[in-house]
Structure formats: C-alpha cells, structure tokens
Structure 1
C-alpha cells in the first residue's frame, strides 16, 4: 500500500473516530455547552480581566502619587474588581472540572457499551481470527482516547482559541502594527504544527497497533500458560513477547523523534515572538508614548498567548496519541457484522422442533477459492428424533451445528426449524431454543451456581441442584468447601475436565430447550462418569430433537438414527444396527473403535 493510500485511510479513520466521539458528546448538550462556556470564561476572567485591572492600577499609580490615607478610597474599586474577577473565575474553573468529569464518565460509558455490543454481536469467524487480549486493549485505548481528547479540548484547545481571540481584540486598538506581526507569527506557527501533525498521525496509529499486538501476545501466553509450561516453551514465548515489545519500543521511538523535531522548531518560533515583544515593551513608551500599564497588559497578554501556543505542540501530540489509540477499535467498529439480524426479524417460535438443512452451501471466509465445507447438502431431522453425527475429522459435523445455531450464515440453501428460516429470525430467540454443550466446556470465572443457571437466571436453588444432580455434578459440588458458591476460575481452570463438562451439561439440563446439541459433550469424562451422564442425557433427550456429534461411537449407538458425513456429504444414514450390517464407512469406524476386526481374525 502506498504512503498516499495509507494517509487517506488514516484520515478516514480519524474522521470516523471523531464522528463517534462527537455522537456521544452531543447526547449531553447542556454539559458540553457548559464546558465550552466555563473554559472560555475561566481564561477570559483569570488571564485577561485580571491583567486588565492590574494595568489600570499601574496607570493610576503612574499618574500621580497617592497619599497613605487615600489608598483605600482610590484603590478600593480596583481591589473589589479583582476579587470579583477571581471569585467568578475560580467558580468557572470548578465548573469546568465538573463538566469534564461528566462528559468523560458518560462518554466512556456509552463508548464502552458500543464496543461491547459490537464485539458481542460479531460472528465467531470474527473472534476466532483475533486475539481476545488485543480486543480488550483496543476497547480500553478507544475510551482512553475519548478521555484524552475531551481533556485536550476543554483544558487546551478552547483556552488557546479564547486567548488568541481576546489577545487580538485587546491589542488591535492599542498597538495595531505589533498585532499584525504577532498574528503573522501565529499563522506560521499553526501551519507548521498542522503539517507536522498530519505527518505524525500515522506514526501514532502504528505505535498503538504495536501496543495492541503486545497486549495480544501477552494475553495469548497467559491464557495458555499450562501449554507453555508443559511443553517447556517458556523461552520461546519469552522471545515472542520480547520481539513484540521491541516492535512497540521502536514504534514509540520513531514517534518520539518526530515529535521532538517538531517541538524544537515550535520552540524557536516562541523565542522569536518573545524577542519581538521584549523590544516593543522596552521602547514602547519612548517610541509610541504607550503608558506603563498598557505595556504591562501587552507583555502579559502576549506572553500568555505564546505559552498557549507552546501548548499547541503538546496538544497536537496528545491529539495524535488519542486518535492513534482509538484507530484500531474504530476499524473494528466499522467492520460489517458477518451475521446480522434483519431490522424486522421475527422471534423464532419452536412448537415441535423439526430441523431441515435444505441444499446447504457453505465455505469459511478465509478458505481457498472453491474450497467448500458443504455443497448442496440436504438433511431432514423430524421433531423429537435423536440423531448422531459421525465421521472423520473435518467432515463438517461441528460446522453443521454452528450453522444451526447461526454462529455463521450459510451462503446457499436454508436451515429451517419448524419451517422457519433461522437466518430470517433473531439470533437470540434462536439460541434460546437450542441448548448447546460443546466439546470444551465454556465456563465463566463466576460461581458454579451462576454457571449452571446462566441460560436460565431465574431458576430456583432447588432447580439448579436438581440439574446438577441429573448431570452427576452434585456429588462433587457438595464436596467443595464453598459448594455452589465456588468460583471456578477463568474458563473453569479450578475444576477438572470432567467436572467442567458436567457443569456445562447441568446448564443445558436446566435450560430445558426443545432442541439439544451435544458436540463431543462426554469426551472429557472418565468411564464411570460417562455412564452416569449418559443416563442423564438419555432422560434429557427424551421428547427433544437432539443432535449428538461424536467421535466415540458408543455415545451414539443407542440413538434413533446416525448420519455419517464425509467431505461435507451424507454418505450413510440409518440406525446403528443397519449401518453396522451395511459394512460401509460407519461399520469400519465401529470396528476400529471396538476391536471387531481383531475379534474376527
């Protein structure tokens, strides 16, 4: 990609970031308006009004000596004016802080919700191709970018604009020639800062990207720390992290050097400005007859303006960083939802539970051209039937269940439940009708009670315990010191594999959905637990449409029907006895698992 294309992309990303930041800001119009007024008022009173009154005092002192007994009489109005200016100015300052807090608190809340809703609504394809840690980091940086931008606008940008306007307005009537020179220097200064800003912006985005990648590498290693340790790969992961950390350091260094070059140049312009004002103040009275008080005002106003301009450089630096930090999440928010509900999508209503896969065509988005999982697959599962899906790895078993749950959308054909196209119904209503137990139990770092009742949060304690009993989980739960209140750890790491699976099965039992999907649900159980859970699953499947994905064929041997998939096609379909007698693909698999070939020798 050329530099020109990169710049265009960055400019577009910045525009969309600012649009999102503005959208949450304009939802608080009164607070936003107050922040502008208080910020401008604070500078106007404490910088300009204060200095103006002090200039009047200097001129009064210069005009004629004031007797000691007349100090109060002469200067009382000035002192009262200074006190009032400072009182109101300090009030504006505190209101300024309040409005900033309110903007940031409410804005971060809305932006966090936007990020979470977007990420939670994205497809599994989206999530499986990204680091979870990077997404968390991007969300955090996105909201931090908003906070930084609000701070810059209220505490730097608005005061700087106010200073420029007030300085020019105050000095033009008094020293027009000097004001013209000052404005010319300001124009050159701002133009230079703007050009440098456009050059540095891509560097800030690159820095943020490197930091997000570093967070992703760290998260990936920590999440899979058991694999790291059991494989003795600490050195490898350390080197991988070190490489990511070096990339982040290098990106930061490049950005820092560019900003330092800009800062040195802008500082030179400030020195030139102060040199000019010093000469003018020194000779102003002699050359132009300007009073001492007015010269104090000119010097103070100009000095304040140069300090504000000096802040422009750091202000643009903070804006660069804020927009760079927000850039990656902005791109994530811009990505279309791979699985999205239609605006008028109806709720799925399941009365019987019949499932139809009609002329299904599906390929993963990152697959090679022409490489499909399914091509014209058709399969009918009557309501209440218990169906096993078997076949070699990669035959499409799990993919079929994901399409049923609409974790991905089919490209061709339809998936129907009771004649309703699941792609036309809302995703939540679909998934509330299907209890799903995957091969790897999905547990939250919450209590066992919360994990079991996750799909039915209004369940009573008795119902939760009964579901745990049916899943053969109650016995081990009651042995734990905290019982149902035991925290299971991230992804359930505090429980054994079999215990995690039984908690997941208990969740499915409690959900009591009309359709049940078990994807290798008993694969992590020992023989004794498997027998007990199989009995519970038999009771659970009774009267429900059930799809059981299994490599262990003993799991599906007693089901009503077994469908054998190979290369995304149905190659056999029948009962266990029929398929064994047919001597085909299923019989071969059964023989290898049971040792039938050895017995036959």
Structure 2
C-alpha cells in the first residue's frame, strides 16, 4: 500500500512539473492563449446556442399563427439576418481558434525542443553514459508532442465542454429549473466517475510511453552498432531483444486500451440515462409545465450537444492521459540535477601560460561502490608548455584524469587548476575552448569533411582548413574523394576508414590552435606509415603548448619531456623515458614487454 501511495504521489508530482514546463512556454504567447479561450467559448456560444435559440424563436412564431407567403421575409427577416450574423461571426471565431492553436504549438514546439536540447547538452557524461541516445531523442519528441496534444484537447474539447455546461444551465434554468437540477446532478456524477477512472489510467499511459521509449532505445542501439551486429552475425539476437521490447510496448498499450474501453462503456451508459431523462422532459414538457415547442427544441438540442460533449469526455481524458504520459519521462530528465554545472558566479577561464595542477584529487564514479576510488589524494603539477605522457595499465585512471581536466566530470575532493584558476569556478565552455581534445575514437558528425575540421573554429578560412588537413596528413586522401572537402562522412564518420577519421579529428585540433592539448590515444587508429607522418605534425602542434598525451604505444610518448606512470589511481613513476627505463620499474617492464609497439590488453 505504501509503495502504491508513493508511486501515486510521484505520478502527481510529475504531472504538476509537466504542467509547470508547459505553462512556462504558454505564458510567452499569452495573447494566443487568451484568444484560444475567447474563440472556443464564442464559437460554441454562437454556432450551438445562439443558432438553436434563434431557431426556437422561429418555431414558436410558426406555432403562434400561420404566416402568409407574402409576409415570410417581413416576419422572419430579422431571424434570418440574425442567423446569418451568428454563423458568420461563429465561423470567424472557428478560424481564430485554429490560428491560436497554431501559434501556441509552433512556439511550444520550438521552446520545449530548445529546453530539452539545452538540458541534455549540459548534462554530464555520467548522465549520457547510462542512457540510450535514441531513447532521449524519443523522449524529447514525445515531450513536445505531449504539449501539442494538450493544446489541441484543451482548445477543441475542454473549453467548449465547460462553455456548453455553463450556457446550457444559464439558458435552461429560467424555463426548466427542475430539469436543470436533475441534469446537474447527473453531470456531477458523470464527472466524478470519469475523474476517478482517469486517475487510475494515468499511470498506465505513462507505462505505455516508457515502454515505447525503451523500444526506441533498443532500436537505436542496434542501428548505431549495426557493423558489430553484422560482423558477429547477431541479427537474430538483436531481433530477439527488439521483439521482447516490442512485446512489452504492445502489452502496455493493450493494458491502457482495455482500461480506457472499460471507462468508455461506463460513461456511455450514464450518457444514455441522461438522454432518457431528456426525452421524458421533452415529451411531457408542454403538458406538465406549459413549455413552448421552441423551448423544447432548445432543451433537446442543448442537452444533446452537452451529452455529445461529455460522450467525447472519454476521448478527451484519454488524450490528456496520453499527453502527460508522453511527457512524463522527459519531465523527470528535466528535473534531474545537473551533475556538472557552472557556478552562479562562474567566470571565463583566462589561459596565459597553460600550467596545470591536480591538487589532492579525490574522485570516484557516482555509479561505482563508495570505496572504489579512481583517485585518492593525487597530486600532479604540469608546467606551462611541458609535454607529458600518461601511461599505465587499463583502469589506472589515465583517461579519467583528462576528463577531469575538461570537467566532463567533477571531482569530489581537491581541485583542478589551470594557471592557478579552479576550473570548477570557470565556465565550462571557456575551459573547453582552451583545450584541443583528440580522443581515441574520432568524434565526427554526419556532415562534410570541411564542417568537421572547422567544428571548433567555424570562422576559419578555406586556406586555414586546407593547411590543417595538410599538417594532419589528411589532405591527400581528402582530395582523392569525389566531393573532396564537401564529402559527407556518414554517421560517426562511417564512410571513412579509422585512420582517415582520426586524421580529420587531428586536423580539427590543429585548426583550433588551443594553448592546451590533450591526445587520448590519438594515433592508435593509424597505420605505421600514417602514424609516422602524423607524429611530425603532432610534434609541431605540441611545441609551445602544454600537452597531455595518453598512450598505450609507449613509442608515442618516448620523446616527450616527461612521462607519468599511473597505477590504481596513483602516480608510481615520474620522469623522462631514459630515466624510467634506467630505473627498471613498472615503466621499464611495460617497455620491455611491448611487441610491435602495443601493450597487450591496455585499452581504457
């Protein structure tokens, strides 16, 4: 019971937070929002109630006494003119209703999409590493569509329904108070019953949306890694995972559908009872209460329209359920704390020389056991302009150290300083714009080679882009491509070979010309010939810059100013290549065991 109560409170809290986000973007178009209310109420008031009222007057006039053929337009002319005006204005309001919906949805889609993008792009790598990218895309799409769906149902169903209730009571109360009393009692019963069932169905809608997002994540994971799927012949296995997720999604949708249908049958039965009561009043209204024929037409038409509105109440609540269910997961993502966030008073990082200090560093990953620290009281000083190699076995913390420098994760203890400035007190963008980062796996967009090289410096000239490609030993293969620099590289650069992708990434780093350089296995994907050529470019690139080179090919770091050996998150050796080999310690052992320039099993 306690668990169910907690879950119910969580669902209600999520719904309130979703309404908060939706209302924030709606407030930006308050004019359109007010117009949606006015046009919806006016549309119903005129085309349903005013039309029927005028027709009731016509029926009463016809019943009062015969009208000669020559007097038709004289007697009924005002009624005809009234109907013309009512319908013309009503149709205009209908179009204004559509216009207000377009304005709200266009603005909402833009603002909410940007909100989701900003939130996701500012989240830490720990956040992204534990989630499917495809699922986040699906959640964003559903969040935006949830807003559009809610705007539709509120404008086209909720406001007209509320207006119908108020106008029906207001128009019929003076002529049939007893009927209105019975009608109100039945409508209150209907709403109470429908709302109670709605609360039960809301979690089912959220479950259905969650299952659909999981299905999107499974599909995205398989498509993203399609090469692995095919080369290992695991199509059947991935199909099994997809089928299982698909079944779960279908089962969740079926549970939601069955609950919705049960609610529909219950509410439809109550609508039938209401119409039965209406038929009795219409049949006996004149005999029992002296109600005129025109008024009886009004009673029937108003009540019939109202019951049809409430008959669609089932569909309206289902669509509201769907909107909140679709938005639920992204709402929870938006409410998650940002693990790596800029301080309120964060200032841009000013790099004058490029000295780096790791002071009393303590760090463990949030999803790791509390006693499994990556670093504990680690200290490392890198003078400005020094070229430092980080080596060690897998899991020693080499790549993690560079991520902490880039502030892709935040330390739990100690500080990371650049020129004496604590990076946690600087803006993240200013920090990363001062560091050229080349990872082991080249990070390329499905854009042209030119765009990929110029990504860190979009204002670069064509000459600068070409020179960077040449220094990275990429110009020759680029010019051999049919579209040259305009070649689209495919998702994650799949149209290029591993060595080609890496050289494009190195060209990007060369073009950025940042004072600090981080190379994380930057040459590991290159063949021996390309590596030799690129090494020369990297030597030039590192000259005068503070450089951190993570490598398992020790030949890559042998010529650097200094080599730091990490083991289990601690610095165990520190010196030049010659000094460390002469010491005969861990580095010397690694050097001696290498065959063909590779350290067996060492990849982070």
TM-score by length of 2: 0.98
Secondary structure of 1:2 counterpart: helix
Query: What is the aligned partner in structure 1 of residue 99 from structure 2?
Result: 98
Structure 2 equivalent of residue 303 of structure 1: 304
**Could you give the per-residue CA deviations for residues 171-226 of structure 1, whole angstroms, max 9, x where no partner exists?**
11000000000000000000001000111001011000000000000000000000
Q: 1:128 maps to which residue?
A: 129
Q: Supply the distance in 2 between the matched residues of 1:56 and 1:310 (Cα, whole angstroms).
A: 28
> 1:384 is matched with which residue?
385
2:601 is matched with which residue?
A: none
Instruction: Give the C-alpha shift of residue 594 in structure 1.
Output: 4.6
2:602 counterpart residue number: none
The secondary structure found in structure 1 opposite 2:319 is helix
The SS at the match of 1:503 is: helix
Q: 4+ runs of 1 displaced by more than 2 Å?
A: none
The equivalent of 2:247 in structure 1 is 246
- Tell me how far apart the structure 1 counterparts of residues 47 and 217 of structure 2 sit (CA, whole Å): 47
SS at 1:275's partner residue?
helix
- Show the counterpart of 1:374: 375
What corresponds to 2:409 in structure 1?
408
Q: What secondary structure, in the 3-state scheme, does the structure 2 residue paired with 1:387 have?
A: strand
- Does the 8 Å CA contact 2:361/2:377 hold for their aligned counterparts? yes
1:535 alignment counterpart: 536
Which string of whole-angstrom CA distances, capped at 9 and with x for unpartnered residues, describes residues 524-552 of structure 1?
Answer: 00000000000000000000000000000
Q: 1:169 — aligned with what?
A: 170
Write the distance in 2 (CA, Å) between the matches of 1:76 and 1:595: 102
Question: What are the Cα deviations for residues 238-263 of structure 1, in whole angstroms up to 9, with x where unaligned?
Answer: 00000000000000011111011100
**Distance (Å, rounded) in 1 between the aligned partners of 2:75 and 2:102:** 43
Cα distance in 1 for partners of 2:304, 2:341 equals 57
Distance in 2 between residues matched to 1:554 and 1:352, nearest whole Å? 28
For 2:288, the equivalent position in structure 1 comes to 287
Q: Distance in 2 between matches of 1:503 and 1:449?
A: 9
Partners of 1:307 and 1:574 lie apart in 2 by: 84
Residue in structure 1 matched with residue 55 of structure 2 by the alignment: 54
Match of residue 550 from structure 2 = 549
Please state how far the C-alpha of 1:361 moved relative to its aligned partner.
Answer: 0.2
Q: Secondary structure of the residue that 1:513 maps to in structure 2?
A: coil
Q: CA RMSD in A?
A: 0.8
Distance 1:210 1:3 in 2: 20
Q: Residues 595 and 580 from structure 1, CA distance in 2 versus in 1: closer, same or farther, beyond 3 angstroms?
A: farther
Q: C-alpha separation between the residues in 2 aligned to 1:288 and 1:545?
A: 96
TM-score, normalised with respect to structure 1: 0.99
Tell me by how many angstroms 1:375 deviates: 0.2
Q: CA deviation at 1:593?
A: 1.0
Match in the other structure for 2:478: 477
Counterparts of 2:276 and 2:199, CA distance in 1: 29
For residues 143-162 of structure 1, give each alpha carbon's deviation from its aligned partner in whole angstroms, at most 9, with x where no partner exists. Answer: 00000000010000000000
Q: How many residues align?
A: 596
Please name the residue that 2:339 is paired with: 338
CA distance in 1, matches of 2:310, 2:256: 21
Q: Distance in 1 between the 2:26 and 2:14 partners?
A: 18
- Residue of structure 2 in register with 1:599 after alignment: none
Matched, 1:204 2:227: no
Report the counterpart of residue 117 of structure 2 in structure 1.
116
Asked if the contact 2:364–2:370 (Cα under 8 Å) also holds between the matched residues in 1, the reply is no
SS of aligned partner of 2:455: coil
Q: State the 1:517 CA deviation.
A: 0.0
Q: Which runs of 5+ in 1 are unaligned?
A: 597-601
**Counterpart in the other structure of 2:196:** 195
Residue 328 of structure 1 corresponds to 329
Q: Distance in 2 between matches of 1:27 and 1:235?
A: 50
SS in 2 for 1:46: helix
The farther-off stretch of 19-28 and 513-522 is 19-28
State the 1:236 CA deviation. 0.6
Distance 1:371 1:594 in 2: 32
